[in-house]
Amino acid sequence: MQSRTTRHPDGTVDIVQIGPAEAEHPADVLQAIYWRELSRSTLGLARFSGNAVRVLGVWPALLRFGPLADGARPIVGGIFAREPHGSIRWWTADGNAAVAVERFAPLLRGPLWRLESWFHDLVGRRYLAHAGSARS
């Protein structure tokens, strides 16, 4: 797996993770795998529900998203977002699966941001392991 994090001068970040995939899948299938791995990684504490990642699937919205379009969901708010900005995108192509958080404006800084970034890396690795081996 390859992982790259870029911090932009405006404080937004890109996190791109890519790994091998045996087959190509549509974005709705890939995002379902990602949300499942998010829930599994938190032992069910964080769940995707109502276009948001929420504690126990109910409240509060840790991150809120717009609708899936062209393989991506815009980030539109939530406790962990400094402002509505950026997106999360899933795709498979050319024998690879990927997840990319693009131009996210995180609220957390310093050690707390490192913890959030570590957690995203963990979920991304689990996602790539399952998206890469999923059959169409």
CATH number at residue 54: 3.30.530
**What are the tokens at 57?**
């699937």
Residue 10's CB is within 10 A of a number of other CB atoms, namely 9
Among the residue ranges 16-20, 31-35, 77-81, 108-112, the one predicted with the least confidence is 108-112
pTM of the model: 0.88
81 DSSP 8-state letter: B
- Structural domain containing residue 84: 2-133
Q: What is the CA radius of gyration of the chain?
A: 14
Give residue-wise pLDDT tens across range 24-72.
Answer: 899 999 999 999 999 999 898 899 998 999 988 778 899 999 999 999 9
Q: Alpha helices, DSSP H only, in 48-109?
A: none
pLDDT computed for residue 34 by the predictor = 93
Query: Whole-number mean pLDDT of the chain?
Result: 88
**Count of domains forming the chain:** 1
Query: Are 61 and 122 spatial neighbours (Cβ–Cβ below 8 Å)?
Result: no
The rounded distance, in Å, linking the Cα atoms of 38 and 44 is 8
pLDDT computed for residue 119 by the predictor = 77
